[in-house]
Amino acid sequence: MKRRHLFAGVAGLAASTLLLAACGTGPTPAAAPTPTEDPSGSITFWSSLAGMDKVAEAFNASQDKIKVSFETIPNGANGGYAKLSTAITAGNGPDVATIEYPQLPQFVSNSQVIPLDGLINKAETVDKLTDETKALVQFGEKTYALPYDAAPMLMWYRQDMLAKAGVEVPTTWDEFEQAGKKLKAVAPDSYLASFNPNEVAASAGLAWQAGAKWFGTEGDSWKVGVNDEATQKVATYWQKLIDQKIVKVTQAYSDEWSLDLANSTVVGVLGANWSATGIQKRTEASGQKGQWIAAEMPTWGNESGAFYGGSSFNVTKSSKNPAAAAKFVEFLTTNQDAIKARGNTGSAFLAFPGLTPVAQKAYDASYFGNDIYEVFTKAYGTITPGWQWGPNWDITNTALKDAYGKLTTGGTIHDAVDTAQDATVAGLKQAGLAVKE
C-alpha cells in the first residue's frame, strides 16, 4: 500500500515537473521564403494588443485572397512569450506574431522568426523608417520585423499636485528630486512617482537615456554592460530617491499601485505614450480628470530620451505561408486603415510616418490636461542613439527583477544591477555565446 502511494506520488511529481520541460520538440524547418507578388491563403495571427481583432477583420474585409484568423494571447508579463516560443518550437505557432523590441533579438537568435527580406516591399516599408526604429528590427543586415509603435518614454504628472507643491514640471533629474522634496513638504505621505521592480524595461529606458549601453557587439562577441558607468549614475540617483521616500517601490499594475494613483499617494507615473489608458482607467473614478499631464522625461542636462516598450510584427518560423503573412504584416504596420480599425483603444504612437495622426484622431485624449501627442512627438525626437537589445533579454529581465525584490528590505539598485550583469554574462556563456565583459 505504502509503496504504491510512494510510487504514485513520485511518478505524479515527476510527470508534472517533467512535462514542463518536455513539451518542446525538434524544430521544423520553414519552407524557404519565396517572394510572391500576389499571395493567398489562410494565416493565423496572435497578439495581446488591444483592438487587433478589429484590425484583422478590417484586413479580411479589404481583400479576399488572404484570410486572417486572430487569436488573443496573454501579454509578455503573463506568459505570452512562453506560449509563443513554445508553440513555434513545437511547429504549431501562428503565422504572424507580436513581439516587443527587447524580446525580438532572442526570437531572432533562436531562429523563431524569419527574415522579411524578399517578402516585403522594402522601399515602401523599412526604408521610410527612422534610424532609431530601424535599429530595433534589423540584425546583421537583415530585417526580422516591421515596427508597430515607437513608444517614447515619458513622465506623467498630476498638475494640481505639482501646483500644490509650488513647482514647475521638472526638466532635469535634479529638478525632479527638488520637486519631490517640495511635494513631501506639503504632502508628507505623497510620492512623486513609483519605482517598479517588475518593469525592468523602464530601468533599461532610464539607463538608455543616460547613455548606457547594456548590450553591444564587438567583432564576433557580445559586450554586456548592465552595470556600466551611466547605469551606475542612474542607480545612485534612484536609490537616493527611494531612500528619501520621493519614489515608492511598488509592482506596476498591482492593486497597490492602482490604489496609490487613485488616492493621490503617488502623483506621477514613469511611463510612455501607452500609459494614458492605464492612468485614466485607474484615476477616472477618483475625479482626477484634467489633472494628469504628459511631460518629457527629465534629463541629465542635454536633450535625451529612450523608448519604453513598443511592439513589432513578425513572421514566425512555423508559418507555412510566409508570403501571405508578410503581406499582412505590411498592412498592420503601414496602412492607415489598420490604425483606423483599432478605434479608440489607446494613445498609440506609431513608427511608420504618417500613421500617428490617424491614431491621434481616433483616440479621445480629453481626460488629460495638456496636448499629450505634442509631448509624444517632442519626446520621440530626442531618443538617445546607439542602444541595442541583447540576445536573451529575459535573462537580464528576470535577474534584475529578482534582485529588486530585496529593495524593500535593505537591498540597493547598485547591488541589483551588479547581480543582473553577472547573471546575464553567465547565462549567455552557458548558451555558448561569446561574451566580453
Partner 1 sequence: MATQALTTTVRRRGRALAGTGGRTAALFLVPFFAVFAIAMIAPVIYSLVLSFHSQQKSGLGFGEAKTVFVGLENYVQVFQSETFVEGIARLGLYCLIYIPCMVGGAVAFALLLDATVAKARKLFQLLVFLPHAVPGVIAALIWAYLYTPGISPLVQALQGGGIQINFLDSHMVLPSIVNIGVWEWTGYNVIILFTALQAVPREILEAARVDGAGEIRAAVSIKFPLILPALSVIMLFTIIGTLQLFTEPSIISKATASVTSTWVPNLWAYDAAFIRHNLNQAAAASIIIAGLAAVLSLAVTRLSSRMNKS
Query: Shortest gap between Cβ of 226 and partner 1 (angstroms)?
Result: 16
CB-wise, 341 or 417, nearer to partner 1? Answer: 417
State in angstroms the smallest separation of the CB of 286 from partner 1: 14
Cell triple for 123 = 522601399
We find the least distance from the C-beta atom of residue 303 to partner 1, in angstroms, to be 32
- Roughly how many angstroms between the first and final C-alpha of the chain, as a whole number? 57
Question: How many other C-beta atoms are found inside a 10 Å radius of the C-beta of residue 188?
Answer: 8
In whole angstroms, how close is the CB of 118 to partner 1 at the nearest point?
Answer: 18
Would you tell me how many other CB atoms lie within 10 Å of the CB of residue 210?
22
Are 333 and 125 contacting, i.e. CB atoms less than 8 angstroms apart? yes
Is residue 43 within 8 Å of 320, Cβ to Cβ?
no
Q: Give the residue with the Cβ less far from partner 1, 130 or 251.
A: 251
Smallest gap from residue 120 Cβ to partner 1 (A): 20
Q: CA 361 to CA 356: how far, in whole Å?
A: 9
Which residues, including other chains, have CB under 8 Å from residue 108's CB and lie 6 or more apart? 139, 144
Q: What kind and span of H or E run contains 183?
A: helix 173-186
* Radius of gyration, alpha carbons of the chain: 23
Packing angle between helix 413-430 and helix 393-404, nearest 10 degrees? 150
Q: 44: part of which helix (H) or strand (E)?
A: strand 41-47
Name which of 12 and 354 has its Cβ closer to partner 1.
12
Closer to partner 1 at the Cβ: 366 or 409? 409
- What are the backbone angles phi and psi of residue 111, rounded to the nearest 5°? 55, 40
Give the nearer residue to partner 1 in terms of CB position, either 107 or 173: 107
SS3 per-residue string spanning 311-352: EEEEEECCCCCHHHHHHHHHHHHHCHHHHHHHCCCCCCCECC
DSSP 8-state code for residue 408: G
Q: How far is the CB of 306 from partner 1 (least distance, A)?
A: 22
Smallest distance, partner 1 to C-beta of residue 198, A: 6
Distance of closest approach, residue 206 Cβ to partner 1, in angstroms: 17
CB of 128 to partner 1, least distance (A): 25
The answer to whether residues 369 and 290 touch, using CB atoms and an 8 Å cutoff, is yes
Name the residue nearer to partner 1 (CB basis): 299 or 318.
318
Grid coordinates of 206: 532610464
Nearer to partner 1, 30 or 43 (CB): 30
Element (H, E) at 221: strand 221-224
User: Nine-digit cell at 64?
Assistant: 479576399
C-alpha distance from residue 394 to each of 62, 171, 354, 428 (Å): 38, 32, 33, 11
* Closest CB 161 distance from partner 1, rounded Å: 18
**Residue 401 beta carbon to partner 1: minimum distance, rounded to whole angstroms:** 7
- Summarize as ranges the residues that interact with partner 1 (CB under 8 A): 2-3, 5-6, 9-22, 24, 79, 81-82, 85-86, 106, 108-111, 139-140, 197-198, 217, 220-222, 249, 251, 254-256, 259-260, 265, 391-392, 394-395, 397-398, 401-402, 404-409, 427-428, 430-434
Q: Which residue's CB is nearer to partner 1, number 25 or number 42?
A: 25
Residue 108 or 294: the one with the smaller Cβ distance to partner 1 is 108
Using the minimum distance from each CB to partner 1, give the nearer residue, 85 or 299. 85
Between 140 and 301, name the residue whose CB sits nearer to partner 1: 140
How near is the Cβ of 255 to partner 1 at its closest, in Å?
5
Q: Which is nearer to partner 1, 80 or 309 (CB)?
A: 80
Cα distance between residue 108 and residue 151, in whole Å:
21
Find the helix or strand (DSSP H, E) in which 208 lies.
Answer: helix 200-209
Closest CA to 268 of 110, 141, 362, 159: 159
